[in-house]
Amino acid sequence: MKKCMSVLTLSAMFATLPLAHAFAEPMSTLAGTWQLTAADTLYRDGHRVHGFGDNPQGRMMVDSQGRYAIQIYRTAATNFASGNKATGTPTELRDAMLRNSVHYGQVVLDPVHHKIVFDVERAVYPNWEGKRQVRDYTLTGDHLSYQVPASATGDGTIAISEWQRIRD
Q: Which helix (H) or strand (E) holds 95?
A: helix 90-98
Instruction: Give residue-wise pLDDT tens across range 46-80.
Output: 999 999 999 999 999 999 999 999 999 999 998 99
CA 29 from centroid of its chain's CA atoms: 16
User: Cβ atoms within 10 A of the Cβ of 51, count?
Assistant: 20
- For residue 164, which of 42, 23, 46, 56 has the smallest C-alpha distance? 56
pTM of the full predicted structure?
0.80
Instruction: Give residue-wise pLDDT tens across range 108-164.
Output: 999 999 999 999 999 999 999 999 999 999 999 999 999 987 656 678 899 999 999
Q: Examine the pLDDT at 6 and tell me if it is beyond 60.
A: no
